[in-house]
Amino acid sequence: MVKKVAFINGKGGCGKTTSIFHVAGVLAVDGEKVLVIDLDKQRNTTDTLLMNTDKPEKSVFDFMKGTADADEVTKKSLFQSRANATPKYYGIDCMAASIELENEETLRNIDYSDFQDKLNEFIQTQGYAWVLVDMPPSNKALNYICFSCIVDFVIVPFSSDIYSISGYGDIMETIDDARAVNPSLNILGVYLARYMKNCAVDRFIKEQLEEFDTFIPVQIPLCADVREAVMFGRPISFYKSKSESRKAYERLTKEMIKRIEM
Ligand SMILES: Nc1ncnc2c1ncn2[C@@H]1O[C@H](COP(=O)(O)OP(=O)(O)O)[C@@H](O)[C@H]1O
Ligand SMILES: [Mg+2]
């Protein structure tokens, strides 16, 4: 079974894009072929994954509308194993986003059964083991498409700041919205994606979240190497063998697999 997971949170800046980048890296090191679909008009995932690749002229928006095929809007991600090395392919592909994805009106009027068939056929023929979807903070039309046509699972990165406990209610709403569209959708859970263990606020929020059965007991440390890896265009699992952050993304990926297979 292909594992299809959307990373979503109604709030921006909570670590969706960063998580997808590094989880895709962990999977690629394990030899898995991964398709990342960028549905966020900000294109952060597209720009990061395709930093060493010519970007496609068309985007997933054109694919949804039926004016482009999946392979026209998807490119191989190339990463440098070390500085100055020739970028190489590790099995991660990226379906590119564009600013047009903000056009909810157009999105609402598309017939998605054709898109869904074509996407599934593409996933089969390319032999992807995983599909990871980067979702924008709030776009009801894209939520609908993602939850009804693309993924089977949802995971919620959570950024602990003083306002985030009230944000937790929004997350539950997002999850309810998802289930309303697709009752068979599975929620993998919520995890802290930018955690400072020496900060009392973060520890307090973690304790609060531990009360919920959706809590995934993996914290991604908030640290420099996570950000630097994105800037270098190289997932942390490709080069930082001893890094705590790398281990955290590996644990998160394991936890995702465990929950998917449950
Ligand atoms: N674990 C982490 N450690 C350090 N910085 C992080 C971490 N996770 C995310 N960030 C930073 O936080 C900001 C928001 O993260 P991002 O993944 O872009 O969020 P989103 O995609 O949810 O908007 C970015 O500047 C990113 O580099
Ligand atoms: Mg993002």
Q: What confidence tens digit (pLDDT) does each residue in 82-95 have?
A: 778 899 999 999 99
Q: Which of 142-146, 178-182, 241-245 has the lowest mean pLDDT?
A: 178-182
Share of the chain above pLDDT 70, in %: 96
Whether pLDDT at 29 is above 90: yes
Amino acid at 257: I
Rounded CA-CA distance 191/160 in Å is 10
Angle between helices 16-29 and 244-261 (to 10 degrees): 80
Distance 13 CA to ligand 1 centre (A): 6
Whether pLDDT at 177 is above 90: no
- CB 193 less than 6 A from any atom of ligand 1: yes
Q: Is 219 exposed, middle or buried (0-12, 13-18, 19+ CB in 10 A)?
A: buried
Distance 146 CA to ligand 2 centre (A): 16
Whether pLDDT at 169 is above 80: no
User: Domain span at residue 205?
Assistant: 3-261
The pLDDT, as a whole number, for residue 209 is: 86
Whether pLDDT at 162 is above 70: no
Distance 136 CA to ligand 2 centre (A): 7
- Choose which residue among 16, 18, 135, 220 to substitute to test ligand 1 binding: the one with the highest number of ligand atoms within 8 A of its C-beta: 18
User: How many of the other CB atoms lie within 10 Å of CB of 63?
Assistant: 24
| Average predicted confidence (pLDDT) for the chain | 92
Residue 117 banded pLDDT, cuts 50, 70, 90: very high
Nearest atom (ligand 1) to Cα of 157: 22
Rounded CA-CA distance 215/180 in Å is 21
What CATH number has the domain bearing residue 130? 3.40.50.300
Angle between helices 224-232 and 16-29 (to 10 degrees): 70
Query: What is the model's pTM?
Result: 0.96
Rounded CA-CA distance 217/32 in Å is 24
Distance 119 CA to ligand 2 centre (A): 22
**Count of domains for the chain:** 1
Note the ligand closest to the C-alpha atom of 12: 1
Whether pLDDT at 214 is above 70: yes
Whether pLDDT at 170 is above 80: no
Whether pLDDT at 221 is above 90: yes
Average confidence (pLDDT) over 151-158: 93
Nearest atom (ligand 1) to Cα of 20: 17
Whether pLDDT at 80 is above 80: yes
